[in-house]
Structure 1
Amino acid sequence: MSDIILDIDRIGKKFDNLKVVDNISLKIKRGEFLTLLGPSGCGKTTTLRMIAGFEHPSNGSILLENKHVENKQPHERNVNTVFQNYALFPHMTVFDNIAYSLKIKNINKKEISKRVNDMLNLVQLSGYEKRKPSQLSGGQKQRVAIARALINRPKVLLLDEPLGALDLKLRKQMQVELKRLQKKLGITFIYVTHDQEEALNMSDRIAVMNKGIIEQIGTPEDIYERPKTKFVAGFIGESNLIKVSIEKVDKDKFSIAIGNKIMNIDSISLSTNEKDVYISIRPENMKYSIEEKAFSLKANIKEHAYMGSLIKTIATLEDGQEILIYNYGKKSGIPKIGQKVWLFWNPEDMAIVKEG
């Protein structure tokens, strides 16, 4: 049995000659939790809808377990979708909502009862089977929607921003619940969100989309620690992006120039051959000193923002660019507003990124 359950090959989608998805390819593993992450309008939901069968690709192919499904109707594909608005039948009980698709398939009542009760146990809603959707909280409604999708035993479960309507505390609880469910069932989840923290917390891999293309795909650690483009570095968490010129000195040595400052690096893996690129340094990796270092940038402290265990400091470089610095659990020794400092970082904590 192949490790790849879903093979998306150069699919694209146009609406009135506007290219929404631009020939993307993606191989999704069996039992994987993969997230399509990006801003509104990047094409992630359209991609999900093409996998589900609600939209037909303008070009390209979609193979589910090595069988073409790009021209099949939604009910002909062994995938189910959970939507943000739950789409529950308001006049039906929880039991009947979950059992609906089984009744349409004329499954016998004894089997329906067993499978619905199994689902209720799985989503921790035993005892709620006689309630109507109006009697449930947002989190409970979402669990009913998930149970209704899972009862058909799909090969792939598609989730389109399913937690977007929930408050922050409940959303975090449901993130844990969804990941628990996915691991327990071993079903492939394809999850759409614009929430970077949600993607980092839940995913085995993340595909970052922008303007209809996938800019980078990798593990949460890869995406956060080693972004390949300026967009990915700026979209995933907070990052300091500084434009630099990079020169290859010899086989394993490079020099990075920021203005008249030169940093020599013994070995670095470049994802681009461009000369003018950006370096990305996460705020938690940016350091400062009141004395000039061998390689450091002169700056002035502009402001501090107290956020409990974290203090965010903004410093301004001589060219006016603002740099963000995180101080965790540190309330003393932080430079005062207006004070001159020298900013520096460890070379292994930066990533070289291209424009896009």
Structure 2
Amino acid sequence: MSEIILEMDNIIKKFENVEVIKNISLAINKGEFLTLLGPSGCGKTTTLRIIAGFENPTSGSVLLEGLHVENKQPNERNVNTVFQNYALFPHMNVFENISYGLKIRKVNKIEIKKRVMEMLNLVQLEGYEKRKIEGLSGGQKQRVAIGRALINDPKILLLDEPLGALDLKLRKQMQIELKKLQKKLQITFVYVTHDQEEALNMSDRIAVMNEGIIEQIGSPEDIYERPKTKFVAGFIGESNLIKTTIKKIDEEKIFVEFGGYEMNVNYKNYDNTKNKESYILVRPENIKYTSVKPRYGLKSIIKEHSYIGSIIKTTVELESGQEIMVCDYDKKKDLLGIGSEVWVHFEPEDVVIVEEG
């Protein structure tokens, strides 16, 4: 059983009587990489700042290793934060930036040098200790910021969109390096991002946030394959959501009707809550189209083909007027022309039922 290092219990945060965090409860395990994922304004950075102590909750409690810290200052909590803008001291060199926290704690000079050199090796900046900050690349600055945060041996490292200022290639490289570093050190990382691919690649668990609440928390596979709400389904990856009517529920299957067709599908996390609209979710990679009518199929017309590197994306329009996406990895297949009448189909096991949320 995992050991819980931090708990947030019924956290509410208001700014000028506007609730930006709405009764969040969250348990974070020791040594895990947990990501707070969501669009701008969903409350993820505010949640991180409450953990760090930069914001106090309006109500609710924050426990670090079982002790209440919701009213403690940032320097009274054994957590450190890495910011998107690095927040490095421009008048100090790399060594001085990384060693700053140890100097504040009055660690002796021999120990400081030893630990800084170890940290430079860890973040792959050996030989850079005398370099000025303005002479570093974005990726190097990010490594200095991480080294400065880690040198104090925090219980939790908080990272607020730390790769957002980097170009795509460097960002992907740093994703790999950060994950390796976290696994090597076994420190708890709480990571904030709006980038779904980043979250899926790096996280042990993801908490998907929307308008101040956590809509779903789970492993990357759970979030992608078994989203519980329409918002999560639409935010994570490319999604085809088709409104459906639930006709019948038995012990193992749900019978649904959509587009004039009925299909029985597995539960896959469906929460039978009354009076909520439901949708079927089918990922584009699980949809096929054919000119021959299948057993289950929705009549449609091809609207567009797009070549996207390793795949071809085809947009089709259903009779209802809704457009859905089909992904095909067979680039050698003869494509039917724009305007062709086709039937899109998918297997019942590839269907997930989600609610409005």
TM-score class, shorter: over 0.9
- Tell me if 1:196 matches 2:186: no
What is the Cα deviation at residue 331 of structure 1?
3.2
What TM-score, normalized to structure 2? 0.97
Two-structure CA RMSD over aligned residues (Å): 1.4
SS of match in other structure, 1:129 = coil
SS of match in other structure, 2:177 = helix
What is the Cα deviation at residue 269 of structure 1?
4.8
Cα distance in 2 between the residues matched to 1:336 and 1:198: 35
Alignment CA distance shift 1:17-1:102 (3 Å): same
* 1:7–1:27 Cα contact (<8 Å) kept: yes
Cα distance in 1 between the residues matched to 2:269 and 2:157: 36
1:207-237, CA deviations, whole angstroms, 9 ceiling, x for partnerless residues? 0000000000000000000000000000001
2:38 alignment partner in structure 1: 38
SS of match in other structure, 1:228 = coil
* 2:244–2:256 Cα contact (<8 Å) kept: yes
2:261 alignment partner in structure 1: 261
Alignment CA distance shift 1:133-1:303 (3 Å): same
- Tell me if 1:93 matches 2:99: no
- Tell me if 1:281 matches 2:300: no
| AA at the equivalent of 2:151 | I
What is the Cα deviation at residue 336 of structure 1?
1.4
SS of match in other structure, 2:159 = strand
1:353 alignment partner in structure 2: 354
1:168-227, CA deviations, whole angstroms, 9 ceiling, x for partnerless residues? 000000000100110000000000000000000000000000000000000000000000
* 1:224–1:237 Cα contact (<8 Å) kept: yes
| AA at the equivalent of 1:352 | I
Give the 5 Å matches for 1:178-217: 178-217=178-217
* 1:252–1:266 Cα contact (<8 Å) kept: yes
- Tell me if 1:310 matches 2:315: no
1:262-288, CA deviations, whole angstroms, 9 ceiling, x for partnerless residues? 113476652233464001110000111
* 1:272–1:354 Cα contact (<8 Å) kept: no
Give the 5 Å matches for 1:1-356: 3-248=3-248, 250-265=250-265, 269-274=269-274, 276-356=277-357
| AA at the equivalent of 1:113 | K
What is the Cα deviation at residue 12 of structure 1?
1.1
What is the Cα deviation at residue 293 of structure 1?
1.1
Q: Gapped runs of 5+ residues in structure 1?
A: none
Cα distance in 1 between the residues matched to 2:334 and 2:222: 33
| AA at the equivalent of 1:289 | T
Alignment CA distance shift 1:325-1:88 (3 Å): same
Cα distance in 1 between the residues matched to 2:264 and 2:124: 56
| AA at the equivalent of 2:121 | N
| AA at the equivalent of 1:176 | I
Alignment CA distance shift 1:33-1:346 (3 Å): same
* 2:268–2:352 Cα contact (<8 Å) kept: no
Q: Gapped runs of 5+ residues in structure 2?
A: none
* 1:297–1:344 Cα contact (<8 Å) kept: yes
* 1:287–1:343 Cα contact (<8 Å) kept: yes
What is the Cα deviation at residue 308 of structure 1?
1.9
Cα distance in 1 between the residues matched to 2:46 and 2:266: 44
What TM-score, normalized to structure 1? 0.97
Moved more, 29-38 or 331-340: 331-340
SS of match in other structure, 2:62 = strand
Moved more, 154-163 or 333-342: 333-342
| AA at the equivalent of 1:117 | M
Cα distance in 1 between the residues matched to 2:116 and 2:261: 66
What is the Cα deviation at residue 333 of structure 1?
2.2
Alignment CA distance shift 1:267-1:204 (3 Å): closer
* 2:266–2:349 Cα contact (<8 Å) kept: no
What is the Cα deviation at residue 2 of structure 1?
7.1
Q: How many residues align?
A: 356
SS of match in other structure, 2:333 = coil
| AA at the equivalent of 1:259 | G
What is the Cα deviation at residue 290 of structure 1?
1.1
